Chain A
């Protein structure tokens, strides 16, 4: 028995949920970025699965673009974290509320 598309989508959903939980529950900036990476990867997996299902390459090309965007996002996100850390010696995002009312 070969895995069908449902298996891959279920795996993608689980990874997405775990990533979302990481983003929402962790207070460390780095953990949040990691969660986002995980969510993006889950999306990629679903895209490839659907591309396979429909029998064309569009989904794979899209994944490639997603990877590039993720790379850009990580670069900027990490640069932000470094800048924040320099400013207040911490990357706890709950302390990032200086712009609050």
Chain B
């Protein structure tokens, strides 16, 4: 089964080709069959491969498809690598991806047949690119997938390209990602320059063989790779594209936010953890960026009224947690959070899609409310996912987020690399973020599903539960949001009775955690658990006080009235987009304008125009030679013949 691994990639790619070729001929039914079928076949192959892989005790399986580049000593193969890390990613990418495909069948059903086919073609291509990224055995193949998801995000975010702001959002995603990609590309080049290989296993071996060179290059490599990760995984300062990415169809947002794209950065950091382990500075950079992003994005999420925007900022914030964990050296914990997050964030986005679908495209939560009675299944699955995101015990997010916070705390207490106080501060930020997360997520729940319906009468009449093809993915994902966390229950929670953290064990050979040295006692760990649960509970209680009951929304309104400037700053996302616009976009535009008007029009065009002018003048003068008189021509012919003869004879 494992030598069929390439089929995982082949099916979505084949689906893309079929759908693009037949976009004008296929009906809705055929399109859905091809689009969902290819994702489903890919999922089946994945499950088969994982079952056979499970019996192999964590070996690394490499499959080389063909030699891609051969130039002197430098060779790059198109090869796939299956180890426990890529297996985990492979599993949830295909599962969540498949469910989103199924959901899309219902959600996109009103599109025209051509657009429908185009949508599924892009979705399949997205799967293909993400799976290439996950399975790539060397950095160049990973980079191909990396660029592929960037391209697909551009295509899908700008799916409704007739609308200007959608096209702009797609462009923004692509350009911001390109900035990060440049860092990744530089890292690949430096890896080749310093170690002569871009193969991940080869790079690891080369760095182990030459510790001196490894120490010299580790920080540069790790920071450049992280620049790439900040772009793809939406961290400060390159997060701005993700909130705008909701311009695409909602299932696309789910795919980008949960299963693909944004997890790529975290995956890449875990994949190259052997580099990060060598560089305390790079780890600290990762942790600080992650921790600050976690709280920064959470505060923006507090004041957004668009349901998808809240979820988008929550994704940015959760990705911050993942990097915080990775920065504390707990790569397994980071990937664990990626894993659980994939389920509940996909569930939340698809739930939001269901709500938007029911409200006839309305995304503003101020015009929703009371949907609980109209759409039971959506409500309950949304609630389960929210509880998971808020970190309520027994739900998936609790285990993974708590694991990250515990590791960061341990790094702080254990004074990891001498940056103990910084890590303690970041842990504090993480706890604040957990409170904010619980608050803003329950704000969404109360504003959307509780209270009175605030939309128009016509919309109220239209309210309905979504069809089964949309609800069933929600149910499965909600189930995943409950049970996914049980794979990584930390030892403290079972009172060190047995080693229950299966997930960490699984990933240990591939991405071993950086050892902190200091052991946190059982009592302290339980204290941390109680603290984070308490903080989450406080957030939920506050959200209920503010947004539930007869006085819903009154307190926030008073707060906004009391500090109008603060409220406006947060509601406008700290003016980050405006600042980027003023400092980067507009100077670039102005430079381009000057290059156009100055360099291009005056200098380059000027040279060309003057050349053409001289040609014209020369032609004007020389045309008098053409007298039109036959005898003159004969004269010239004879003169020429005489000259030629003289040349030959003399």
Contacts and interface: CB of A to CB of B under 8 A. Distances in A.
Interface of A: 20, 23-24, 27, 32, 93-94, 96-101
B631 A100 contact: no
B521 interface: no
B88 to A, nearest CB: 81
A94 B627 CA distance: 10
A93 B638 contact: no
A97 B623 contact: no
24 contacts: A20-B638, A23-B634, A24-B631, A24-B635, A32-B630, A32-B631, A32-B634, A93-B629, A93-B630, A93-B631, A94-B629, A94-B631, A96-B628, A96-B629, A96-B630, A97-B627, A97-B628, A98-B628, A99-B628, A100-B627, A100-B628, A101-B623, A101-B626, A101-B628
Contacts of B635: 24
Interface string B608-645: 00000000000000010011111100110010000000
Contact of B631 (A27, A98, A99, A101): A27
A88 to B, nearest CB: 14
Nearest to B623: A101
A99 B638 CA distance: 22
B636 to A, nearest CB: 11
A77 to B, nearest CB: 12
A20 B631 CA distance: 11
Nearest to B634: A23
Contacts of A24: 631, 634-635, 638
A9 to B, nearest CB: 13
Contacts of B629: 93-94, 96-97
Nearest to B637: A23
Interface string B54-80: 000000000000000000000000000
A93 B635 CA distance: 14
A91 B628 CA distance: 15
A23 B634 CA distance: 8
Contacts of A96: 628-630
A67 to B, nearest CB: 21
A30 B633 CA distance: 17
A52 B634 CA distance: 32
A57 B628 CA distance: 42
Contacts of A20: 638
Contacts of A99: 628
Q: Which 4 A-B pairs have the closest CB atoms?
A: A100-B628, A97-B628, A93-B630, A101-B623
A39 B638 CA distance: 12
A96 B633 CA distance: 12
A45 B635 CA distance: 23
A97 B630 CA distance: 8
B50 to A, nearest CB: 82
Contacts of B628: 96-101
Nearest to A98: B628
Contacts of A93: 629-631
Contacts of B627: 97, 100
A93 B628 CA distance: 10
Contacts of B634: 23-24, 32
A100 B627 CA distance: 7
A96 B626 CA distance: 13
Contacts of A32: 630-631, 634
A3 to B, nearest CB: 23
A94 B630 CA distance: 7
B619 to A, nearest CB: 10
Nearest to B630: A93
Interface in B130-185: none
Given A94-B629, A101-B623, A101-B628, 11 more contacts: A20-B638, A24-B638, A27-B631, A93-B631, A94-B630, A94-B631, A96-B630, A97-B627, A99-B628, A100-B627, A100-B628
Contacts of A94: 629-631
Interface in B485-543: none
A44 B635 CA distance: 22
A99 B627 CA distance: 10
B304 to A, nearest CB: 74
A43 to B, nearest CB: 12
A93 B630 CA distance: 7
A99 B626 CA distance: 10
B331 to A, nearest CB: 81
A13 to B, nearest CB: 12
B630 A100 contact: no
A93 B627 CA distance: 13
A40 to B, nearest CB: 14
Contacts of A97: 627-629
Nearest to A20: B638
**Residue among B626, B627, B628 with the most chain A CB within 10 A?**
B628
Nearest to A96: B630
A21 to B, nearest CB: 10
Nearest to A100: B628
B626 A100 contact: yes
A34 B92 CA distance: 96
A8 B595 CA distance: 74
